[in-house]
A and B are shown apart, each in its own frame.
Chain A
Amino acid sequence: MEIQKITVLNGCGKDGKMEQVERFDLEMGNIISIVGPTGCGKTTLINDIELFANRNTPSGRQILINDEVIDDDFSFDPKKHPIALISQHTNFLSDLPVGEFLKIHGTVRGADDIEQIINETLEFANQLTGEAIIKDTAMTELSGGQTRSLLIADAVIIGNSPIILLDEIENAGIHRSKALELLKNYKKIFVFVTHDPHIALSSDYRIVMKNGGMQQLIATNGEEKLAAAELKKIDDVMLTFRAQIRSGKIITNEILKENIKTLSN
């Protein structure tokens, strides 16, 4: 089945009342953010999407594919699972070496050239991490940041799913602007659960969650898009400082002024 569109139909929030946002559609090429304070149900919403909820999860939401209801028994051939979910996990529980794990996952997903796809995945992941991930390392030994980077790379390259759900990509100290930039090269539906203003304003629209329910749907307007570009500059400044501190530099007044100056340009 070719997926053109996924629709989320509302269920109930934690107070048992119907959600104010009645529905939203995800179409190919869309970038959507889900925002709201912690505990407001952001993760539950993307879990519902990933499980193709059919009024059978606690929220009572229903997911449509190409405007059609999905049968309860319906489960995708894992080779063609259209959704890749990058959860907030910052550790793996698999007692396998990285290379072995990717090899099996590549096989599950029906990859043609396993060696090539493993290398591509590691290359992608290593652009996001501090220290490179090595094939022979046990999955359980990876750091939080390495784990998240590998999960993202795995979902995009090995999963190769048309819909990618990312739960708090900004966590665990990975290079998030780089991640966003790399991800935009792939034409897919991206759903970001995020606390990051730059990511939220770089989306086509955002869903504001409150008390377990979808409260508002806001399309990003022109002014906000300009704001996003400005926030990116602040983000870059922060990253410059982070890189310098990580490499053991002392931050002087001069360095501070010089970097702040770039913001007003």
Chain B
Amino acid sequence: MKLVIFAGPPTCGKTTVIKQVIKRMLKKNYKPSYIKIDVLFADEDENIRNEFHIPSRKIYSGELCPDHCNVVILDEAVEWAEKSESDYLFVETAGLCLRCSPYVENSLGVVVLEATSGMNLPRKIGPMLTLADIAVITKIDLISQAEREVFRYRVLEAASEIAIVESNALYGIGIDPIVKIIEKTNDVEHPMFLKGNPPVGTCTICVGKKEIGAKNHFGVLRTMEQDLFYVGE
């Protein structure tokens, strides 16, 4: 079983890229399955099931961050895909807060970025980009070549080893190189471990403290001037 995890900001074109990849994987007689992790609403799983007739499902993370949810359920998800006799599991996650990343060791991490999102995006999204194996830049038809080159430079500045694929996924342009890299992915190994370190500290907000201000919280705290400090045992 091979695991490919797709992450990227909302509306960047993750699902469009995944659909094009699935189409090509099926032509090559692979048996992929698909899981979408989202917060409140998703219908991509149904679209993909209807279009490709492959095992497909969604998981609502609800109160959890989708990436957090991914960490908690991924072992069951791999088991589900194995039971469905798939050789690939594609996980699409709408990771949100950008402090951690969903990628797992011995899997392939794909970050999807839209070319139209501004030159500072690669500097803003942290481990979702820096720990990925491939950066797929979508919607390249919407910007000039000069801007594409500068965007690419900004991506490499954040993640110098990353493989970059530029794509116009609606028309299936630039998908073949992604499939080639996916085919070279290693089998997933149990137990699975996250590639990156989780964010520092325990979140008092997550455990239920609602009052604003550092004095109401503990763990790793900070002031407006960026001085980090620790309160606790």
Contacts and interface: CB of A to CB of B under 8 A. Distances in A.
Contact of A93 (B141, B147, B154, B172): B147
Given A57-B171, A72-B177, A96-B119, A89 B144 contact: yes
Contacts of A85: 144-145
B192 interface: no
Nearest to A50: B145
B152 A94 contact: no
A96 B121 CA distance: 12
A256 B180 CA distance: 64
The 4 closest A-B pairs by CB, nearest first: A85-B145, A95-B118, A108-B153, A104-B150
Given A58-B173, A96-B119, A105-B149, 17 more contacts: A57-B171, A58-B172, A72-B180, A73-B177, A86-B144, A86-B145, A93-B143, A93-B147, A94-B150, A101-B146, A101-B150, A104-B154, A107-B153, A108-B153, A154-B146, A155-B145, A159-B146
Nearest to A53: B173
B142 interface: yes
Contacts of B29: none
Contacts of A72: 176-177, 180
Interface string A77-116: 0100100111101001111100001001101110000000
Max count, chain A CB within 10 A of own CB: residue among B118, B142, B146: B146
B120 interface: yes
Contact of A105 (B118, B150, B174): B150
Nearest to A140: B118
A203 B116 CA distance: 34
Contact of B176 (A50, A56, A86, A104): A56
Contacts of B146: 101, 105, 151, 154-155, 158-159
B152 A58 contact: no
A229 interface: no
A104 B116 CA distance: 17
Nearest to B120: A95
A58 B153 CA distance: 28
Interface string B105-128: 000000000001011100000000
B79 to A, nearest CB: 34
A181 to B, nearest CB: 22
Given A151-B144, A155-B146, A159-B146, A94 B177 contact: no
A157 B138 CA distance: 27
Contact of B173 (A57, A78, A92, A105): A57
A109 B147 CA distance: 12
A260 interface: no
